[in-house]
Amino acid sequence: MTALRVLLVDDQALLRGAFRTLLDSADDISVVGEAGNGRQAVALTRQLRPDVVIMDIRMPDVDGLTATSEICADPELRATRVLILTTYETDEYIAQALRAGASGFIGKGIEARDLLNAVRTIADGETLLSPAATRSLVARFLATPDDPAPRHPERLAALTPREREMVALVATGLSNREIADQLYLSPFTVRAHVQRAMTKLGARDRAQLVVIAYQTGLARATSHSATSHSATSPGATSHGGTDQV
């Protein structure tokens, strides 16, 4: 079995050392490099092509959100996933991380076992945000009148009516199984539609698909979707837990 290749990005060398020791203790994970700021992170990601970049937010020179945006915007780095690992677990940072293209967001207080599982989850193309948390965050920060993110409804032209329906339901926070129950379909069929929609829209994972749904106007914020939710760590549940796309 090929080990997952991880790049560690944090301006504190002591923390990088501790995380490296933990990650390297797993048989299926290998730390291939370390960076102390966002500029180094982007350069090393292009050089090493890791499976997962574990990214801090607040760093000198170039911050983690800027670096995440640059990495996720590079088509040659499409296979690389970014996991935000930070002390600052605020809703606004989570929303900014999603907008930048991150596939997950967890706090540095996470248990050792959960960090290992987080890396595996991100590498598998899943998100560490529960459907309900994703819906809430996107509705609050990406679908507001003063949101600077551009809206491009023409992106939806590539979708079939059924795929549009699936993306809209994903954006409400429903899991694949809940969508299947609502539409009287099999979860396998729902997953296939969602995967095709992700491919057509260029979404890396389910969380980014929700972002696109709001940015294009396919989904819109409502009063009930502003209910406060928190990002969940791997294994936590909300609407059935994190959803596998």
Return the CATH architecture of domain 132-226. 3-Layer(aba) Sandwich (3.40)
Query: How far is it, in rounded angstroms, from Cα 24 to Cα 220?
Result: 43
Say which residue the tokens 């409400």 belong to.
Answer: 172
Give me 211's structure tokens: 């972002």
8 A C-beta contact, residue 230 and residue 136: no
> Which has the closest alpha carbon to 227: 146, 133, 141, 162?
133
Same fold, 4-125 and 132-226: yes
CATH superfamily of 4-125: Response regulator (3.40.50.2300)
Contact present, 16 and 8 (Cβ < 8 Å): yes
Residue 193 CA to residue 110 CA, distance in Å, equals 33
DSSP state letter for 21: H
The residue whose two tokens read 């837990």 is 241
pLDDT of residue 242: 46
Cα distance between residue 170 and residue 135, in whole Å: 9
Pairing of strands 104-107, 81-86: parallel
pLDDT of the residue at 138: 59
Please report, to the nearest 10 degrees, the dihedral formed by the alpha carbons of residues 209, 134, 72, 80 taken in order.
Answer: -90
Which letter does DSSP use for residue 127 in this model?
-
List the domain boundaries for the chain. Answer: 4-125, 132-226
Q: Are 38 and 62 in contact (CB under 8 A)?
A: yes
pTM of the predicted model as reported, rounded to 2 decimal places: 0.65
Name the 3-class secondary structure at 193. Answer: helix
Phi, psi of 145 (to 5 degrees): -55, -30
Rg of the chain in Å (alpha carbons): 17
Tens of pLDDT along the chain (245 residues)? 689 999 999 999 999 999 999 999 999 999 999 999 999 999 999 999 999 999 999 998 999 999 999 999 999 998 999 999 887 666 677 778 878 888 888 888 788 888 998 899 888 876 666 454 555 565 565 555 445 554 677 889 999 999 999 999 988 777 788 899 999 999 899 989 999 999 999 887 777 788 788 888 887 654 333 333 333 333 333 333 444 45
